[in-house]
Each structure stands twice: as C-alpha cells, then as structure tokens.
Amino acid sequence: MIKISIIIPVYNVEKYLRRCLDSLINQTLQDIEIICIDDCSTDNSLNILQEYAERDKRIRVITSEQNSGAAVARNRGLEIAQGEYLGFVDSDDAVDKSYYEELYKKAKEKDYDIVKCRRKNINTDGSISESPLNLNIEKFGRYFFTYEWQTGIYRSDLVFKNHINFPPECVKAQDCVFLNKVVLKSKNIALINNVYYHYYKRNDSLNSAKIPLRNIVSALKSAEIQLEDLNISDVYEENKFNYIYLYLNRINSVLSLTLFQNDSYEAKKLCAEWLINNFHKCKDIELLSKEFLYQSLLPLIKKRKYERLSRQLNKYKNINDINELSFGFIIKLFYFLWKNRKKRIVFWGASLFLERLIKKYRISYKNIIGIIDKNSSRAGKKIGNYTIYPPKKLKDLKPDLVLFAIKNYNRLVFNEVKEFLEKSEYKTDLINIFML
C-alpha cells in the first residue's frame, strides 16, 4: 500500500526541479508515489520530469492541456492520489532525506490527522533561518497552524470525505484555503522537530515583494473563503479567543501581506471593502473590536466608511506606518502612568509596538525602570532610556507592577506571562497595556 502521495505542481522550474526530485526519490521511506503535474511549462521542466519518471517508477507525470495554475494542478493530483496520507512539495523546494519517514512514523503512533515538521528558510543571499511556528502550535493548539502548509502530511480520508481541495479562482493563497479547511475538520495534530522542509525564497515567485492586482483579488478571495469556513465551524463555541485569533490572523494577513504589496489606489480600495465587509460578518464584533490591532482604523470600519478608509489606507506604504494607537488609548496610557508615578514599573515585551510607542511619544518616566523580554539576544540593549533585561532579572528590579506590551498573540501570551509571574519568586501585579 502507498503510504504517502506527494503532489507537485510544475511550471517553468528547470533551474530547481532536479534538486526537488532528487530529495524525493532518495527518501528513506520507499512506499511513496510522486505525482508531478506539468502545467504547460515552456522550458525544459517536462523533459526533466520524463527523465526522472523513466528512472523511478514511483513518479507519475501528468501533463496539462493549458496553463491553469497551481490550484488546478494540485486538484488533478488529488484526483489520482492513492496514498494513506497526502504531502505537498513546491517544485523549487526540497526536503530532508528522512522527511516522509519521520512524518509517517509519527502519524501512525496515534492515527493523527495531521503531522507537521519544521521549516528552514533559505534566502536569496544564502542565509538560513528556522521558523518558530511549531513552538506556537505546541503552546496554543492546532488552530495556530495557519501557514507553512507544505511542512505537513494530511490523512487522505479526512481530505476526501470532506471534499477538500484547492479553489481554482485563487492564484495566490489557495494553499491557505486548503490548510484552513483541513485544520478546521481535523481532530488532532502532531509536531516533530527533527526533520525539515527546505523553503527557497525566489525573487520571481508569487510571494515576491510586489504583486499584480489580480493576485491581490485572489488573496482577498482566499481570506474571505477562510473566514466563511471559520464562521460555519464550531471554533467560536469551543473557544471564542481561538476564533478571534483566527479572524484577526486573516485580517492582519490582508493588511500586511496583501495591501502593501501593490501601490495602486485600486488595491487599497479593494482591501478597504474587504475589511469592512468581513469585519461585520464576525460572530463577536465586540470582542473583535477589543482585540483589533489597528485601533485608528476601527471607527471607519465600524461605520462602513468605504471611501474614507480607502483614502486612509492609501497614505500608508508599510504596515508599520499605520497608526495603531487611537488618541483615546494614548490619553488612557498617560493618565495611567501619571496616576502610578510613585510605583516602580517595568514593561514586558521589547516589541516593535513598544519601541514605536516610546520613541513617538517620548516616554521617559523615571519610575519606569526597564523592559523585560524573553529574547536573550536583546538583553542589555535599550529602547529610549530603558534597558532590556531577561525575565530572571525581575526579582532584582523589584517592580510594583508589570505593564504587558505585546500585540501578537496578545491574550494568549499575556496568560503565559501571568502564569510565569505566579510561579516566580517575586510577586507583582500584571496589567495589559491594551486593556487600560
């Protein structure tokens, strides 16, 4: 029996295809099939596929009559896949030699729906970094598996019984739709950290810095489908904070990954329409409003001011240009700091948000005695007048209260810090800066 079907869409990747195929035919797990769908390549990609298929009978080559995109190609692969699990590799990437053996071995331990490994990012300059996503999934659960979908294998029965595939109308981010559907339907996930998917960054890929308007439309459609699937799931009833996190995740992706990858006003207008329409489809608008990262945009979104929001977004060239802080927030913060001016205060989290807050508003209260951050590489550095310390220094600083200042995973990380403080030798009050 075929244990894993590996599906690879191929289009004009002759420079990278051999690297990909070599990493697959040399897998320590032998019971695999490698389904390659050539999407009318105009270079030598098809010849390379046929060459490898003659050498290794596990490779199945499908040719398309016309170029239809990765979604259609992957769906054709799904139609003929016979494996117990499904895997996906991009034709310009590669995997470790024991990649699928380790994933499959873990999957069979408890019949997991999904098993995910780690990813190495190989940049165009040759530098390599490792993704921390597995740590977040381990801490907060499977719903935080929102990207890096190639790093997993998925139980075939789960995919086929729920009629999960790739939306052909989405040129960009159709893989996110697939992943979102599988995760929402899954019952469990396992993580392994000893093998890697090798993700090679390319300047000419669909994920490059600037993308055409048609890809903006595609990404917005993808995010809309993901929110529709989220709304018909039981996630809100299970845990409303997981639901809000997933909702915010899609909104943030529209802003950070889509809005600022196209400079046209038309792109800003499309994003504004998407933001307003989908914000009001949320099951808990009150909680979404509280957790929303970009408070200065909130009045325009809540009042459905399409044109004004479009003009506002058109002013920004980068996600960090958005004024996340409403005037009301700043007033509350300064009042809080003044009211507690006789108390020793530390910030928790040397975040970009905190750095911009301190520098923009020139915060220099003498009773603020430092910043705590878990990233040891930042220890000893400064933001404004304040030194960054590791958590173990808390008992030496002896603050009267800790002001939590991390925006990403806000409530979840806040609870983690709260638990840390409760277990530590030094007891102090913890206050969320976003809930003043």
Same-domain status, 157 and 33: yes
Summary mean pLDDT of the chain:
90
Question: Do residues 91 and 136 both lie within one domain?
Answer: yes
| Helix, strand, coil percent content, the chain, rounded in steps of 5 | 50, 15, 35
- pLDDT higher than threshold 60 for residue 204: no
3-state SS class at 4: strand
Task: Choose the final residue of a domain: 286, 320, 354.
Answer: 320
- Residues 26 and 169 occupy one common structural domain: yes
**Which residues share a beta bridge with 75?**
none
- 256 domain-assigned: yes
Q: What is the CATH number of the domain that holds 101?
A: 3.90.550.10
The two tokens of residue 326 are 């409403």
Query: How far is 435 from 413, CA to CA, in rounded Å?
Result: 14
Reading the block at residue 385, the tokens are: 């007048």
308 and 161, same domain (yes or no)? no
Last residue of a domain, one of 200, 232, 250: 200
pLDDT in tens, 215-246: 899 999 999 999 999 999 999 999 998 899 89
Do 154 and 280 lie in a common domain? Answer: no
- Looking at residue 239, its amino acid is N
Please tell me the pTM assigned to this model.
0.79
- pLDDT at 166 > cutoff 80: yes
The residue among 154, 172, 200 that closes a domain is 200
List pLDDT tens digits, range 359-386: 878 888 999 999 999 888 889 999 999 9
Contact between 77 and 64 (Cβ < 8 Å): no
Q: Answer whether residue 206 is part of any domain.
A: no
Domain count, the chain: 3
| β-strand partners of 198 | 94, 120
Q: How would you class 271 by CB atoms within 10 Å of its CB: exposed for 0-12, middle for 13-18, buried for 19 or more?
A: buried
pLDDT of residue 323 exceeding 60, the answer is no
Q: Which backbone phi and psi does 412 adopt, to 5 degrees?
A: -70, -45
Nearest to 248 by CA among 317, 360, 146, 366: 146
For residues 231 and 146, state if they share a domain: no
How many Å apart are CA 366 and CA 215, to the nearest integer?
49
**370: alpha, beta or left? (left if phi > 0; alpha if psi -120 to 50):** left
